[in-house]
Amino acid sequence: MEKVEELYDKKVQCPVCNQEFITNKVRTSKLRLIKRDSDFLTYYEGENPIKYNVFVCQHCGYASMEDKFHNINSKEKKIILDKVSSKWNKRSFSGRRSIEKSIEAYKLSLYCGQLLNFEKYNLANICLRTAWLYRIKKDSNEEKRFLHFTLDLYREAYYNEYLTDSTMDELTLTYLIGEISRRLGKKEEALNWFNNVLRNPEIKDNRVIERMTREQWQLAKES
C-alpha cells in the first residue's frame, strides 16, 4: 500500500495582495497523540500541527493564524502594505517547516497582530504557541520569555476583554493563567488563580479542569 504523506498542500488567496500561495497542513488521519502538557501543548508522532497554524503570504508578508487570516478590512490591508509588504523579502513558508521556520511564522503573525491592534487574548494565543515551539526546541530561555508575554496578555484579556473564543471559556483561561504563573515560578500568584478556578460555581461542569487544577495547585504548593 502506498504511504500517504502526512502533509497536504492548501491553496490560499491572500486578502491583502490577492495573490495565491501554497501552505501546508497536517492530515488529521495521520495524527497519533503521544502526550499533552499541563498548559495544553500536545505532542504527536511525526509532524505537530501547531507548526502550520500560521499562514504566511510569500508575496506580501502578511501573516496570521489560519482562523483569522481572512478577517481583515481595507484599512488594515493598507497598514500591512505600508508596514510589512514595503519591506518584505519574498520567501516561501510552504513545505515541511522546521521549528525555526515555524517560530519565524508565529513572530510574523505576532507583528501583524500588533500592527492591527488585535485583542490581547489573540496576541496571547500567538505568544503561547511560540513558547511551545521553543519548548519543543528545548530553548528554555526563549520559552520563558514568551510565557511572560503570554501571562501579561492573558491577564489583561481576563480583566478587560469579553471572551468570545469557543475553544476556551473563562474557567479554562483562569486555570491557564495559574499554570503559566506556576511554570514561571510565581507560586503565590499561581495559587490565587487556581483557587479562583476551584471557587467558580461552573467547576462542577468541567471535571477535567477541576482535576488538572487540583494537581497543579498541589505542585505549586510543594514548590
On the question of pLDDT at 36 being above 90, the answer is: yes
Average pLDDT of the residues in 46-61: 97
**DSSP one-letter string for the chain:** -PPPPSEEEEEEE-TTT--EEEEEEE-GGG--EEEE-TT--EEESS--GGGGSEEE-TTT--EEEGGGTT---HHHHHHHHHHTGGG-------SSPPHHHHHHHHHHHHHHHHHTT--HHHHHHHHHHHHHHHHHHT-HHHHHHHHHHHHHHHHHHHHH-----TT--HHHHHHHHHHHHHHTT-HHHHHHHHHHHHH-GGGGG-HHHHHHHHHHHHHHHH-
Average pLDDT of the residues in 113-142: 98
On the question of pLDDT at 62 being above 70, the answer is: yes
Q: In whole numbers, what is the pLDDT of the chain averaged over residues?
A: 95
**Cell 504563573 sits on residue:** 181
**Domain around 76:** 7-118
Q: Is residue 194 part of a domain?
A: no
Percent of the chain with pLDDT over 90: 93
- pTM, whole model, 2 decimals? 0.95
Average pLDDT of the residues in 142-164: 95
On the question of pLDDT at 117 being above 90, the answer is: yes
- Count how many domains the chain has: 1
**Cell 500561495 sits on residue:** 21
Confidence at residue 165, expressed as pLDDT on a 0 to 100 scale: 76
C-alpha cell at 79: 497598514
Q: Is residue 148 part of a domain?
A: no
Q: Is residue 132 part of a domain?
A: no
Q: Is residue 123 part of a domain?
A: no
Query: Residues 91-112: pLDDT tens digits?
Result: 999 999 999 999 999 999 999 9
Query: Residues 165-185: pLDDT tens digits?
Result: 777 899 999 999 999 999 999
Q: Are 125 and 81 in contact (CB under 8 A)?
A: no
Q: How confident is residue 2, by pLDDT bands cut at 50, 70 and 90?
A: very low
Backbone phi, then psi, for 203, in 5-degree steps?
-60, -30
Q: Is residue 1 part of a domain?
A: no
Q: Is residue 108 part of a domain?
A: yes
Closest CA to 39 of 202, 155, 164, 172: 172
Compute CA 52 distance to the chain's CA centroid, rounded to the nearest angstrom: 11
Q: Are 147 and 133 in contact (CB under 8 A)?
A: no
Q: Is residue 110 part of a domain?
A: yes
Average pLDDT of the residues in 20-44: 96
As a whole number of Å, the end-to-end CA separation of the chain is 52
Choice between 14 and 162, residue whose per-residue pLDDT is larger: 14
Q: Are 175 and 193 in contact (CB under 8 A)?
A: yes
Backbone phi, then psi, for 56, in 5-degree steps?
-125, 120
